[in-house]
Amino acid sequence: GKRYAEIILFENTGAEIRSSLRKYSASYLRFVWATSAGVMIMSYALWAWDVRPVLGDSVWTVVSIVPFVVAVLRYAVDVDQGKAGEPEEIALRDRALQILGLAWAGSLFAAIYL
C-alpha cells in the first residue's frame, strides 16, 4: 500500500520517488497489494477456525474474522485513493478503522478469556 501511494503521487504530481520503484507500474503494485490482502485474510480465517478447539470451541475466534476482513477492506479504500503513504497515520486518523480494531481485539479477548 505504501509503495502504491508513492507511485500514485509520482504519476499525479511528478514528485521524486526512489529509483527502484520506477520499474513497477501502479497496476502491478495494486495487483501485489490485492494478492497480499487476500492471502492475509485467508491465513487469518484459517487460523481462526483452526484455533477454536484449543480455546474450548469458542465462537469468538470465528466472529473475529468479520472485523478483521472489514478493517482490511477499509484500509484498502485508503490504499486505492493513494493515501496509504504512512500506515500509522491512517491508523491514528481513521475512526472507523480504530473501531474495527477494537472490535477485533475485543472478540479475541472474548475468545481467550470467556
> In this model, does residue 68 exceed pLDDT 80?
yes
Interval 7-34: pLDDT, tens: 877 777 777 777 888 788 888 988 999 9
The pLDDT assigned to 16 comes to: 78
> In this model, does residue 95 exceed pLDDT 80?
yes
Q: Residue 17 half-sphere exposure, CB side, CA atoms within 13 Å?
A: 21
> In this model, does residue 85 exceed pLDDT 80?
no
> In this model, does residue 84 exceed pLDDT 90?
no
The pLDDT assigned to 6 comes to: 80
Phi, psi of 25 (to 5 degrees): -90, 160
For residue 57 the three cell numbers come to 470451541
Residue whose C-alpha cell reads 503513504 in the numeric block = 85
